[in-house]
Structure formats: C-alpha cells, structure tokens
Amino acid sequence: MRAVVYSETGPSSVLHLAERPVPEPDAGEVRLRVVVSGVNPTDWKSRSGGTASLAFPEATPNQDGAGVVDAVGPGVDGLAVGDRVWTCMAAQDRPTGTAQEFTVLPADRVTRLPEGASFDVGASLGVPAVTAHRALTVAEDGPSRLAPGALTGRTVLVAGGAGAVGNAAVQLARWAGATVVTTVSSPEKGELARAAGAHHVVNYREGDPVAAIREVAPDGVDLVVEVAPAQNADLDAQVVRPRASIAVYANNGGDEVRLDVRPNMVTNARWQFILMYTMGADALAAAAEDVTAAVRDGAFGVGDEHGLPLTRFALADTAKAHDAVESGAVGKVLIDVG
C-alpha cells in the first residue's frame, strides 16, 4: 500500500511517500481502507515536534479520516466489513495515521457514517467536531449531551466562527437549539459563519464588539467557545452571564492568559480548558454519538454552502496539505487517499 511516513520530527519535508505492507488487525481492532484523510493543526504540530518527540521508529500523520472497514479483528462487535465510517485520534499514541491507503485502529476510534453522508463530511469531523462538542457540554448548568432542543434558550458565543472548530461549534449549537453569536475578523469570514448557521455575526475589528454582543444577549451569553483566550479574556468577562462557561480549546494569539479576578468572580465564570486527547473515554464516546446524530439529521455539512470551504490535495502532496494548514488555510484541508 501507499503510505506517507516520517521517521523524525521537523518541517513538512520529513514526510515522504513509501510502499508499506498492508497491516492486519489484532483483537479489538479494525482495518480501514482510507478514502479521505483530514488535516488539522494538531497534525502538523505533532509532525514538527512541537507537542512531543516521535514515539515510534516510523509514523504516518493525520488523526482524522473516513473510509470503509475492510477487515475486523477478534472481539469486535458493532462493526463489520463494508461499513462506511469516520475516525478520530487515529494517530494518538499509535503510528497509524490516516495519510495511507489502509490503517489499523482500535474499534472504539471508529464510528459508522450515517447513510448518505459523504466521506468528505466524515473526514472533517474528528478533531474539530469532537472538540466543539466538548466545548458545548462543559457548562455548570448543562447540558452534558447535545441533541435537538438541548441548548434551547441558551446563547452561545463562538470566537472565530470561520475556523474548523468554530464552524463545527456553530453547526452543532444551531442543531441543539441555541442562539448562536460568532466573532470574525473580516466580512468574508462573516459570510462563512452565516453559512454555517450563525444567527448573529460580529466583526471584532469594527466598532464595539462587547456592545454588539450585549445587544444580542443583554443578560449575557451562556457559553463561550474560545480560540484566542489571551486576546479575548477581557471581552469574555464582559459578555458572560452568571455561571457561564468559557471553554478554551486553542492558544491563538498567545500562550499566557491574564484574568481579572473580580469580573470573573462576580459572574461565577467557569474557565474550562479542553484537549481532546485527555478528555476521557466517556466524553469521547458521547461526542461520537451526538456528532453522528447531527450528521444523520442533516445538520452538519461541509463545503462553501456550510461555511467550510474544502481544499484538496493528493496523497503524494501530504506535505503541501500540512503547509496549507500551518499557513492558516480557511476551511478544511482534505487529502484524497483512495
């Protein structure tokens, strides 16, 4: 099979296309024929050595993907050869990323795709959608799961609604019944956020964003999905209602956050930091179920019409795909594998 591999961390040039044997699944594992691989910031950061050293003599990058189960190991229930599936955390503590024609994964990292859902949608779930689900379900006053009506009566503020996680948060929050407000940096990104389903879009580079958000939510927002805490901490403190949750999933704009005690104390604000890899098996399973339900309901899509433009690369151009994500490509970067 064709596989993109690397044996040392570094720039995208460490990636190269190679021929490798097709792997066989062990107990509790399935083999996936990968059709589309999704690229996320975590993929290039891991490859570069920015998060940890390479734990294997050789590894294949990319956590997310979609394809077809073509072999099942002993002890696997609920999955069968021929199932169309999406996967998340394929390369977590394993050398088995999705930038290859076949990959072997634990069965609990594979979820069936609903009928009619494309492989592009499947490969775009994973890191963004699971992270967004976690951000929307950590509030003190709930909910702990997402479904139609779960966020009815709540106002959700999504920082950076044109990003992959932001887009997923907008779509999932809208599906769950929330009023969705998002901040963006340009009119073009505002159009993407509206296409994703945001009810209100605030360009934070124009006017008074706090006043604009308060106009929509005079009593304050219930949930904040935060991508840039270093830049937005003061804004968040000014727009949340009592017992609001501010869920931080990235460090855009700086690694250190300064919090004023009094404003956050007055509102009993909860600052919740999120990393998919340590959120626990129960939260991961809940996210997989709820995200799949949103896809089944037709509430989660990709492409321009859903505010998530797709940029595609061939498997041999995986390095270019990583470079595109590192350079801040808007939308979702996908690799056509098979």
Phi, psi of 73 (to 5 degrees): -80, 170
* DSSP, res 253: T
Contact (Cβ atoms closer than 8 angstroms) between residue 227 and residue 165: yes
Question: For the chain, what is the mean pLDDT?
Answer: 96
**What do you get for the CA distance between the two ends of the chain, in Å?**
11
Q: How confident is the model at residue 142 (pLDDT cuts 50, 70, 90)?
A: confident
- Look at residues 220, 226, 214 and name the one whose alpha carbon lies nearest to residue 241: 220
Give the up-direction half-sphere exposure of residue 135: CA atoms within 13 A in the CB hemisphere: 31
Whether residue 209 has a cis bond before it, omega within 30° of 0:
no
Average pLDDT estimate for 296-303: 97
| Beta-bridge mates of residue 4 | 17
- What's the pLDDT score for residue 51? 75
Pairwise CA distance, residues 20 & 36, whole Å: 19
Distance of CA 228 to the CA centre of its chain: 15
Tell me: the pLDDT tens digits for 207-227? 999 999 999 999 999 999 999
User: What pLDDT shows up at residue 290?
Assistant: 98
Residues 143-195 pLDDT 10s: 999 999 999 999 999 999 999 999 999 999 999 999 999 999 999 999 999 99
> What three-state secondary structure class fits 195?
helix
Question: Letter for the amino acid at 320?
Answer: K
In this predicted structure, what is the pLDDT of residue 253? 82
Measured CA to CA, the distance from residue 195 to residue 213 in angstroms comes to 19
Q: List b or e across 246-275, with b for residues whose CB sees 16 or more CB atoms inside 10 angstroms.
A: bbbbbebeeeebebeeeebeebebbbbebe
Q: What is the DSSP letter of 198?
A: -
What percentage of the chain has pLDDT greater than the value 90?
Answer: 96
Per-residue pLDDT tens over the stretch 258-296: 999 999 999 999 999 999 999 999 999 999 999 999 999
Q: What is the pLDDT of residues 12-60, one digit of tens each?
A: 999 999 999 999 999 999 999 999 999 999 999 999 997 778 999 999 9
Q: d(Cα 165, Cα 168) in Å, to the nearest integer?
A: 5
